[in-house]
Structure 1
């Protein structure tokens, strides 16, 4: 998810955010998935819950509508999830999508930030995954990594609570990993490039497999208050950190990403400019999303 900001760049290091309005971002009303082949039929359709019970910035009928459209085009049953997490509730789903949860219904980005999920919810999600559920977790730029920290750390993922720039991940430079997800089930499903649109980054646990790995030039700007950035704001190298990875836990699976726009198509109302699935360089992002979903469905 690319934060739509007016910025001033002074040299290569100074970024001053003059104004920022995420409310200006909307789902692309003209988006149509490229996928025309359904993997699943009505009789074997996996149930996907998209979390909307935690003040999520990305929702099924909101900014993640194109995400839901891509899944529906492949035969998934996609539903909004408006209940707090319990093991009994989660057992109704095959895949849980948690995308940019927040600790409360915020009108600004003023700290402090607290957990979006209570300890009982985190335990319910972990037990559900161990028993065979699949989690698709997205936490974008600050403050989103901070508010889901207890959930991500329960699976061993450590986020940087900052901002990184857009990135291209390619097979030829190994920033995009060779994995069953990138190989696909046929030549038409093979992924050679994925584009992200900012976000954050994370370190992975020992048993996780990286998908998207940042290179030597990648840095994270880490402000105390989101979007309040000046020359003194810390810059931290993200070389070797990740924007996508997967992990098998018990009988279940987890896919973690630190950028959400790469799986949606959104436009800025004030300019009409589009970002995400229909952007130059992101031509394979839709198939990459489907391949991730197929891996989670196994």
Structure 2
């Protein structure tokens, strides 16, 4: 099977994942059993953006993300208004997952920016002064519509489609970091934070993604998920419509997941959303994401990322 033909088949899967009917949150998803990290007295507030026509919402395709976080004691709430300093002050962690420029019924260009420059400035200021941001921009056109926010943190996205990829510690595509070891060795506070307490099963050796895009992180960032030799991004003019004439760029050495400290705050950027959810194809009964073969550690990895973001 040629690489192009394989991508055409993958594009059909992506297209199914981005329609309103076949791909839905897995109604049978249950978080893994764990000892709850946070209690009501110290629960970090996670504000998940739903004010920008987001494709992933906590009562929709991103419901398993909410379930996992709540099972660990996080407080998860939806954000339904444009970003302001007052709104952001209510959160410890802001999640922006697959924002869109409008309520789309198709993927036809052109694409506008999802966030105003004023909103971008508010988010950057908030992070710089201690906020924490999880930014997810999946396959095209999601990177294009959050370009101004990504570039504000020095992140340069492709706007195309990459194939599913398995990142492994053994191949050095999965970085050695506090997140993958399961504890924050970077925190220097006198009290031992919750995230530094040893958790036997918190170490990560393998992560699976399910397509998405790719990006070049800024120099000061750490790429947790680094794509290997031979990986490419197909960038058709219209998303999913991949052909022999579609622009293709190498993504070898590019990232699908990176973290950085920014001022007093922290940022985590990922180029794929299903890795943090569980979705059901209602036509085939097939599930993708957190319960997929090869993604057995994705759920713990997601929590490790959120714990790292929650550290003051």
Pairing 1:94-113 to 2, within 5 Å after superposition? 94-113=92-111
The separation in 1 between residues aligned to 2:262 and 2:140, in whole angstroms, is: 27
The residue matched to 1:220 in structure 2 has which SS? Answer: strand
Pairing 1:234-273 to 2, within 5 Å after superposition? 234-273=247-286
The residue matched to 2:171 in structure 1 has which SS? Answer: coil
The separation in 1 between residues aligned to 2:285 and 2:79, in whole angstroms, is: 30
Tell me which residue corresponds to 2:232: 219
Q: 1:188 aligns with which of 178, 201, 209?
A: 201
> Does the aligned pair in 2 maintain the 1:132–1:251 contact within 8 Å?
yes
The separation in 1 between residues aligned to 2:4 and 2:31, in whole angstroms, is: 38
Tell me which residue corresponds to 1:209: 222
The separation in 1 between residues aligned to 2:12 and 2:295, in whole angstroms, is: 28
Q: 2:85 aligns with which of 81, 84, 87?
A: 87
1:290 and 2:308 aligned: no
In the alignment, structure 2 segments of 5+ residues that lack a partner are 184-197
1:153-182 CA distances to partner (integer Å, 9 max, x unpaired)? 000000000000000001111100000000
Deviation at 1:18, TM superposition (A): 6.1
Q: 2:44 aligns with which of 46, 52, 66?
A: 46
The residue matched to 1:44 in structure 2 has which SS? Answer: coil
> Does the aligned pair in 1 maintain the 2:24–2:60 contact within 8 Å?
yes
Tell me which residue corresponds to 2:70: 72
1:121 and 2:112 aligned: no
Greater mean deviation of Cα atoms: 13-22 or 131-140 = 13-22
Deviation at 1:54, TM superposition (A): 0.2
The residue matched to 2:218 in structure 1 has which SS? Answer: coil
1:163-204 CA distances to partner (integer Å, 9 max, x unpaired)? 000000011111000000000133310000000000000001
Tell me which residue corresponds to 1:197: 210
The separation in 1 between residues aligned to 2:56 and 2:102, in whole angstroms, is: 14
Normalized per residue, the structure richer in strand is 1
Pairing 1:95-174 to 2, within 5 Å after superposition? 95-174=93-172
What value does the CA root-mean-square deviation take over the aligned residues?
Answer: 1.1
> Does the aligned pair in 1 maintain the 2:4–2:243 contact within 8 Å?
no
The residue matched to 1:288 in structure 2 has which SS? Answer: helix
The separation in 2 between residues aligned to 1:67 and 1:225, in whole angstroms, is: 29
Normalised by the length of structure 2, the TM-score is: 0.91
In the alignment, structure 1 segments of 5+ residues that lack a partner are 1-9
The separation in 2 between residues aligned to 1:189 and 1:68, in whole angstroms, is: 19
Deviation at 1:115, TM superposition (A): 0.1
Task: Report the number of matched residues.
Answer: 289
The separation in 1 between residues aligned to 2:172 and 2:59, in whole angstroms, is: 35
